[in-house]
Amino acid sequence: MTLLAHISDLHLDGSERATRRATRVMDHLRALPHPVDALLVTGDIADHGEEAEYEEAARILSAPFPVLTCPGNHDARPAYRKALLAEAPDHGPVNQVHHIAGTAILMCDSTIPGRDEGRLDAETLAWIDTTLTALPQDTPALIAFHQPPVELHHPLPDSGMLQEPGRLADLLDAHPQVAAVLTGHAHTAAASTFAARPLIVAPAITWTLRMPWEGGPAADRDQPPGLAFHILSDDGRLTTHYRVVL
């Protein structure tokens, strides 16, 4: 069994509000009596893509368990690499595979610099294919990136969803060991399906999206930050529990 926490959309901008909300969630995770095997952070870690924002993120996200990240549309690859990953600044896609409790977790870069919508470019799709092909057949895998590949029925996230999702769906047809797809971006806890697999969208740390039938402005800034807990069982079934942190 693999136990994962999943957060998204911290939008750290140096403000006391953003810092407080992200710190509250991390304090909650660090205090769990049974620690998670890893924490996934699916993008929009910084609000403006500045080095200082990633330096703050590195401090806040420091934990006794692995913290796995991927960029979102608000993130900037060079500063992200330098200040958060301690790597040389580079404009190429940030793709990393992590092996956690017997599960391969592919943190993928679906960003298009300067755009809200996402796309898994040819380099990233080839990396996903090569990485999954190299895994032993009995190794389960999860794929995480920022923009959801399906409509969530709100004009705000749906205007910036993953483009050309069929390219990923075709790739996943050849890799049955992928148990689920995990994303962020939408600022609402959501569950759907993609390529005959669970698609799980993490809630946001910064604010919660009001759906059209709820009325009011799109951004509900009074809701507490949320997170998801994913359990990947030995039979390959993913179970997700959502929580808010008061």
Contact 48, 14 (CB under 8 A): no
pLDDT of residue 51: 97
Q: Which residues pair with 227 in a beta bridge?
A: 243
pLDDT in tens, 19-70: 999 999 999 999 999 999 999 999 999 999 999 999 999 999 999 999 999 9
**Residue 25: closest CA among 242, 226, 196:** 226
What does the pLDDT look like over 73-107, one tens digit per residue? 999 999 999 999 999 999 999 999 999 999 999 99
Whole-structure pTM over 0.85, yes or no? Answer: yes
pLDDT at 180: 98
Q: Which of 190, 95, 99 shows the shortest CA–CA distance to 145?
A: 95
